[in-house]
Amino acid sequence: MPSLLRSAEKAWAGANFRMVYISSGWTENQFIIRAVFGILALIVFFTYTSRMICGVKKHKSQVTLEQKSVAALAFLLFFFDNPWYLVQIYSPSLFTVTIATL
């Protein structure tokens, strides 16, 4: 076990950490792209869910498990695009970084 710890220490000793700044144009571009795809994801979710619910006229039990699962995945698609990106950039804290990495 001690040899494993020594090899891990050697690996970390060779790591080179440095702070890199990215231009504000790149950040604005990322925000616009994330906002567009976030809005599209919400449009897909609301469109699919409304068609699924309104399409079943008589019995709501006719909605299958697959349709419910696709609706849930369409909702989660919004969070895949990291909607907290702007907060993480302009107000970095342990809370915002933790929420963004979940």
Contact 80, 42 (CB under 8 A): no
DSSP-derived letter for residue 15 is -
Q: Give me the domain span that covers residue 63.
A: 2-101
Helix (H, G, I), strand (E, B) or coil at 82: coil
Per-residue pLDDT tens over the stretch 34-76:
889 999 999 999 998 888 888 766 666 778 888 889 989 999 8
Per-residue pLDDT tens over the stretch 6-37:
555 555 566 666 667 778 888 889 889 988 99
Q: Calculate the average pLDDT of the chain.
A: 78
For residue 5, name the pLDDT band (cuts at 50, 70, 90).
low
Burial 43-64 (b: 16+ CB within 10 A, else e): eebeebbeebeeeeeeeeeeee
Sign of CA dihedral 50, 53, 54, 56: positive
Q: How many folded domains does the chain comprise?
A: 1
